[in-house]
């Protein structure tokens, strides 16, 4: 009865087989909703039975779209269609890398219909790459073109997005509209992190002079570690940001690992010291 019920979601020609205590299903979903219903049902086979081979094609649609967006809170949302569960896992992994610890919301439906000359993972990487350069807004594939709209993370990102749209689109993907604005960063963030063999700088600084000033303080104190500068330039920094960071660098250098992080006018120090006495000195400093 369970096997027969699964055929309701599949087009003519589908087969459901029960062999001993294993149930196998093959065929093509009649529509997108039927594919989702079939996946949910296959997650709960009858008690004592297991799933054997499941070879079910998603339904084919004429209006295949895919979109990645970032909301003002930093969360990443996936909408539109995805060609397979493997492709869903890949775009979810990519989105998690730019989500800054916020959960990724997956609203995608599994369906066929993407042009054969477009590689699904390449398209996903391109969309996520664009949204990674945005404070809010999104990138959308629709009608064989990718369009971008929203707030870029900084002025530098506008040029990077425009260059990517011109030179780095996956084969078979056209360029749609680009509508970008730049807003002051809120909160304005920058961090210096010390790890076992490296010190990384990330976030934003107001100008190259502030960057040079900060690196001039960092490099002499971490001469054994690799210095990884990933900072970007953006307006909106709190006053005397470079001075505040420079004052915190010697304290960070006294830790075996740790991070100095600034969000607007709040400076936070976290990490691990080698000795209890050193930890006490850090707190007093």
pLDDT digits (tens, 9 = 90+) for 127-174: 999 999 999 999 999 989 999 999 999 989 999 999 999 999 999 999
Res 37 pLDDT > 80: yes
Phi, psi of 65 (to 5 degrees): -130, 160
What would the mean pLDDT of 223-245 be, rounded to a whole number? 93
189-284: same fold as 65-182? yes
Structure tokens at 247: 């004052």
65-182: what fold? hypothetical protein tt1634 (3.40.1520)
Q: Indicate the DSSP class of residue 46.
A: P
Confidence of residue 47 (pLDDT cuts 50, 70, 90): very high
The pLDDT, as a whole number, for residue 278 is 78
Domain limits of the chain? 2-57, 65-182, 189-284
Confidence (pTM):
0.80
Q: How confident is the model at residue 73 (pLDDT cuts 50, 70, 90)?
A: confident
Tell me, what's the pLDDT at 100? Answer: 76
Alpha-carbon separation of residue 223 from 22, 35, 226, 227, 254 (angstroms): 62, 57, 8, 9, 14
Q: 265 and 233 in contact (C-beta within 8 Å)?
A: no
pLDDT at 261: 95
pLDDT exceeds 90 at position 273: no
What is the average per-residue pLDDT within 69-92?
93
pLDDT for the residue 173: 97
Kindly report the CA angle at 164 between 162 and 168, in degrees rounded to 5?
A: 150
Cβ atoms 258, 251 nearer than 8 A: no
CATH code for the structural domain at 189-284: 3.40.1520.20
pLDDT higher than 80, residue 75: yes
Listing DSSP states for 143-199 in one string gives TTEEEEEEEESSHHHHHHHHHHHHH-PPTT-EEEEEEEEE---SS-EEEEEE-SSEE
Residue 284 confidence (pLDDT): 81
The model's confidence at residue 285, banded by pLDDT at 50, 70 and 90, is confident
Q: What is the DSSP letter of 242?
A: H
The two tokens of residue 133 are 């350069």
Helix axes 241-253, 208-221, angle to 10 degrees: 10
Q: How far apart are CA 168 and CA 35, in angstroms?
A: 33
- Distance CA(220)–CA(63), nearest Å, equals 57
Torsion sign, CA atoms 241, 244, 250, 254:
negative
């Amino acid at each position: 009865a369970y096997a027969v019920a699964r055929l309701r979601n599949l087009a003519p020609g589908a087969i459901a087989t029960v062999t001993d205590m294993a149930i196998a299903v093959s065929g093509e979903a009649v529509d997108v909703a039927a594919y989702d219903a079939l996946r949910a049902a296959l997650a709960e086979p009858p008690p004592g039975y297991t799933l054997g081979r499941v070879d079910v094609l998603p339904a084919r649609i004429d209006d295949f779209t895919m979109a990645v967006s970032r909301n003002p809170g930093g969360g990443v949302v996936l909408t539109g269609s995805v060609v397979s569960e493997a492709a869903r896992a890949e775009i979810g992994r990519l989105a998690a890398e730019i989500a800054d610890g916020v959960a990724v919301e997956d609203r995608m439906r599994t369906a066929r219909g993407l042009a054969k000359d477009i590689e699904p993972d390449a398209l996903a990487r391109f969309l996520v790459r664009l949204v990674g350069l945005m404070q809010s807004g999104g990138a959308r594939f629709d009608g064989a073109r990718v369009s971008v709209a929203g707030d870029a993370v900084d002025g530098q990102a506008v040029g990077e997005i425009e260059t990517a749209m011109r030179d780095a689109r996956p084969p078979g993907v056209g360029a749609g509209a680009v509508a970008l604005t730049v807003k002051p960063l809120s909160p304005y963030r920058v961090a210096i992190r010390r790890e076992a063999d490296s010190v990384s700088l990330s976030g934003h600084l107001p100008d190259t002079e502030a960057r040079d000033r900060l690196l001039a303080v960092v490099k002499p104190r971490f001469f054994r570690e690799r210095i990884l500068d990933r900072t970007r330039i953006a307006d909106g920094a709190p006053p005397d940001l470079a001075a505040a960071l420079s004052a915190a660098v010697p304290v960070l250098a006294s830790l075996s690992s740790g991070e100095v992080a600034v969000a607007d006018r709040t400076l936070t120090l976290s990490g691990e010291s080698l000795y209890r006495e050193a930890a006490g000195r850090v707190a007093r400093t």
